[in-house]
Amino acid sequence: MKILTTVKKVVDVELNIHIENGAIVEDGLQYVINAWDENAVEAAVVLKENNGAQTTLVSIGGEDNTDMIRKCYAMGIENAILIDEPSLAGADSFVYARVLQKVYETGDYDLVIAGKQAQDTDNGQTGIILSKYLDLPCVSNVISMEVMDETHIKVSRLGDGGIEIVELALPAVVTVSDSINEPRLPAMRGIMMAKKKKIEIMDLAKLGTSLDEVGGAKSQIVEFMKSKTRQGGQKFEGDAAEITTRVVDLLANEAKVFI
């Protein structure tokens, strides 16, 4: 089984992000591997260990994506492709999915594992659009995965009201939830072995396509705004009966929690 895992480098949203004039201030930003993609990498490595799957990772971005790729190597991924194409700056999910489609078509892959969303944009679209472009079945929000035979896998997906068990014919696309596994920390030896591994760097031309073919972005971020910060709470002191009356009044008339 050949697995293609998609990995995105994202801004570390746990750090403070500053916005000026509708744009994110790049200074001082730190980047990390998208958390859900780390789950996708772990899922792929588990299939390699338990079922002898071959694992390839693809990432779109510049040379600074290589640190993240080496971490994935250290976790156990065997091959990596970096699509280094500056003209893709400003691309949206449709464009990324089209590029990933081209990558998929260069190999003889049986399964695409993607994170269900990225923590920077929270769009959750790329994996699903990719399955549409490839005309492959897709299961999203996957929380467990097992190989049935050479051509079928069984996955569980978390739905609104419960868990769905889905048997899936390969090739297929799955997007995974962060509850599918706990990504391993790379072992020391893995880190050293990762140093020696080559990353296949490609641009659109090498991929046999062009910016015209993958198309322009269908959507564009026009402005970033800070979300409202949580207001501080109110503290009440004094007589218990008076406080109770006051709190009930506020809950009823200001917060309007009693309907």
Partner 1 sequence: MDFDLTKEQEMIRKEVRKFAQKEIAPIASELDEKEEFSETLTRKMGEIGLFGIFVSEQYEGQAMDYISYIIAVEEIARIDGSQAATIAAGNSLGIGPIYYFGTREQKEKYLPKLCSGEGLWGFGLTEPTAGSDAGGSKTTAVLDANEWVINGSKIFITNAACDLSMGVTVQAITGTRDNGKPEYSCILVESDTPGFKAIPMHKKMMWRASNTAELYFDDVRVPKSNILGKKGDGFHQMLSTLDGGRLSIGAMGLGGAQGAYDLALQYAKERQQFNQPISKFQAIAFKLADSAMEIECARNLLYKACWLKNNKRPYEKEAAMGKLYCSEVMGRVTNHAVQIHGGYGLMKEYNVERFYRDQKLLDIGEGTSEIQRLVISRYIGC
Q: In the complex, which residues of this chain contact partner 1 (CB under 8 A)?
A: 67, 70-71, 74, 185-192, 194-195
C-beta of 196 vs 256, nearer to partner 1:
196
Three-state DSSP state, 147: strand
Shortest spacing between CB 103 and partner 1, in angstroms: 25
C-beta of 24 vs 191, nearer to partner 1:
191
Tell the residue number behind the tokens 């280094």, with chain if given. 84
Q: Check whether the bond before 183 is cis (ω within 30° of 0).
A: no
Shortest spacing between CB 42 and partner 1, in angstroms: 14
Q: How far is CA 240 from the centre of its chain?
A: 50
C-beta of 187 vs 247, nearer to partner 1:
187
- Taking the C-alpha atoms of residue 157 and residue 144, their distance in angstroms, rounded to an integer, is 7
Shortest spacing between CB 188 and partner 1, in angstroms: 3
- Other Cβ atoms less than 10 A from the Cβ of 105: the count is 14
| DSSP letter (8 states) at residue 233 | P
Shortest spacing between CB 200 and partner 1, in angstroms: 19
- Taking the C-alpha atoms of residue 246 and residue 257, their distance in angstroms, rounded to an integer, is 14
C-beta of 39 vs 209, nearer to partner 1:
39
Nearest to 44 by CA among 175, 138, 151: 175
Nearest to 37 by CA among 153, 180, 234: 180
C-beta of 188 vs 241, nearer to partner 1:
188
C-beta of 12 vs 164, nearer to partner 1:
12
Q: Retrieve residue 198's tokens.
A: 């080559």
Shortest spacing between CB 201 and partner 1, in angstroms: 16
Shortest spacing between CB 193 and partner 1, in angstroms: 9
CA atoms 112, 113, 117, 119: torsion sign: negative
